[in-house]
Amino acid sequence: MYEYLNGRVDYIGEDYAVIDISGLGYKVFTSQNTVRKLKISEIAKIFTHLIVKEDDLVLYGFSTRDELGMFKLLISVSGVGPKAGVSLLNQYKSSEIAASIIARDIGKLTKAQGIGKKIAERIILELKDKIDTESAIGGIETFDGGDEISQVIEALVSLGYNYSIASTAVLKLKDTKKPIDILIKDALKQLATM
């Protein structure tokens, strides 16, 4: 219904902000990442998603389309509500969540408040085919050894592998603290199973 709100930030709460548009204040629930970017009395553009409940309308909003897109993907998973979606976005950037889903990193997802092992498994199961590998590439640097990971991807591409496929294989590696030559071998083994 609402694509975005563009107005003056009137108030900032712990998990929401009030955006004043022509004298009408919209209470928008959001992530800590978005809250940190907002400043009272400054103009902000918030990308929104309206959730209609039986007796309530709740507006969620984020500072980027990527964050909003990840929120919509997360709440599309059965058992994941808006609070759980925001909890994940409080903990990680959308690219980090995407990288964790592609890498099937249950441990990383369960670090967010309210996300248990079963919910993390369900998120991975339901979203693994919906996540664009390119959007997850931005989350690579959050894995231990981000520079090495980039070098491994470049090495695989120089061997003739597609960038997207090479990135997916590298994201699936469990231990990224190994030397680059070992990481390349592990990634090649991963590619053989794909």
Residues 24 and 71 grouped into a single domain = no
Instruction: Average the pLDDT over each of 20-24, 33-37, 170-174, 183-187 and give the range with the smallest value.
Output: 170-174
pLDDT confidence band for 42 (50 / 70 / 90): very high
The CATH number linked to 35 is: 2.40.50.140
Domain boundary pick from 116, 134, 152? 134
User: Average per-residue pLDDT in the chain?
Assistant: 86
pLDDT confidence band for 129 (50 / 70 / 90): confident
Residues 105 and 83 grouped into a single domain = yes
Domain boundary pick from 41, 62, 83? 62
The CATH number linked to 125 is: 1.10.150.20
Whether the CB-CB separation of 124 and 94 falls below 8 Å is answered with: no
Residue 123: phi and psi, rounded to 5, are -60, -50
Residues 44 and 75 grouped into a single domain = no
Residues 105 and 47 grouped into a single domain = no
The CATH number linked to 156 is: 1.10.8
Residues 76 and 120 grouped into a single domain = yes
Give the count of domains, the chain: 3
User: What pLDDT, on the 0 to 100 scale, is given for residue 110?
Assistant: 94
Residues 99 and 121 grouped into a single domain = yes
Better-scored residue on pLDDT, 158 or 83? 83
pLDDT surpasses 80 at 64: yes
Residues 32 and 72 grouped into a single domain = no
Residues 70 and 120 grouped into a single domain = yes
pLDDT digit string, tens, across residues 139-150: 544 444 456 777
pLDDT confidence band for 36 (50 / 70 / 90): very high
> What's this model's pTM, rounded to 2 decimal places?
0.72
Range of the domain at 123: 65-134
Domain boundary pick from 40, 62, 84? 62
Residues 96 and 126 grouped into a single domain = yes
Better-scored residue on pLDDT, 193 or 112? 112
